[in-house]
Amino acid sequence: MIYTVTFNPSLDYIVHLPTLTTGTINRTEDELVLAGGKGINVSIVLNNLGINTTALGFIAGFSGDEIVRQLGEFGVSEQFIRLSTGLTRINVKVKATSEETEINGHGPIISDDELQALYTQLDTLQDNDILVLAGSIPSSLPSDMYELIMQRMESKNIRIIVDATKDLLTKVLPYKPFLIKPNNHELSEIFGRPLSTQDDLVAAAKELQIQGAQHVLISMAGDGAILISADGQVFTSLAPKGTLINSVGAGDSMVAGFITGYEQSNGDLQEALYWGICTGSASAFSTNLATKPEVEVLLSTIKK
């Protein structure tokens, strides 16, 4: 089974308007309310690709109920911990013609007992299950949350995928995550210097492998992607051609695509890379998250 954990989910209220003028009334041209959060996105795309998954994490209030309702429409299984107080955060994303503005909610307080309930769920995972840890950690939880989970799972043969940035990513490396997915800019930020060539990126990835990472998947937007395997092989793929519409969720979609390709091909890493980059691109080329037909069209263009 594949599980995703979203510690800080959101209900994203997305509005479009011609211009944004502060200090007065603005009227929208259209609006959309979507369940958000990196792990949730991974679960939705996995389901779209025909892979069963269970979404874990914390929800609260009417905004949390709406996330559950939307996941039900997608057919995604969930076992969220229902918090006793507060609201799942609501993020407002204002998209005007020339600029975008975001107001992100704070989110509810998660108690020690509610965190323990998540631990109890994670303790039921079995060998060869996949666990995706993605996104930020709310302020009410320990900042080393990912490390605590990976330490707890260390005795099991769980394949853990981590999609996070900066210290949240580097601090889990001693626990040997199965896959990490930084993009080229995040790698440059980690190492404190520009990494502008493929050789630079591969060398940086291998440094992270020395620190404990197994596979390293590097996304480079329109420049394609690189996968450095646990045994040091380097796999590459060009990006499919298309028009960028919305990059939100593209990285999460890449993770879902990689898992799908890896599972369907019995561990073929080149195939997993192709699925990853085409699924990420399919989301970027659409107003919604990638669907299987969209991914298959793009696969046919890069595997000729």
Active site (catalytic) residues = 252
Token digits for 296? 């298959």
Cβ neighbourhood burial of 198 (10 Å; 0-12, 13-18, 19+): middle
SS3 per residue for the chain? CEEEEECCCEEEEEEECCCCCCCCCCCCCEEEEEEECHHHHHHHHHHHCCCCEEEEEEECHHHHHHHHHHHHHHCCEECCEECCCCCCEEEEEEECCCCEEEECCCCCCCCHHHHHHHHHHHCCCCCCCEEEEECCCCCCCCCCHHHHHHHHCCCCCCEEEEECCHHHHHCCHHHCCCEECCEHHHHHHHHCCCCCCHHHHHHHHHHHHHCCCCEEEEECHHHCEEEECCCCCEEEECCCCCCCCCCCCHHHHHHHHHHHHHHHCCCCHHHHHHHHHHHHHHHHCCCCCCCHHHHHHHHHHHCC
- Distance between CA atoms of 78 and 43, rounded to whole angstroms? 9
- Distance between CA atoms of 95 and 178, rounded to whole angstroms? 37
- Distance between CA atoms of 291 and 246, rounded to whole angstroms? 15
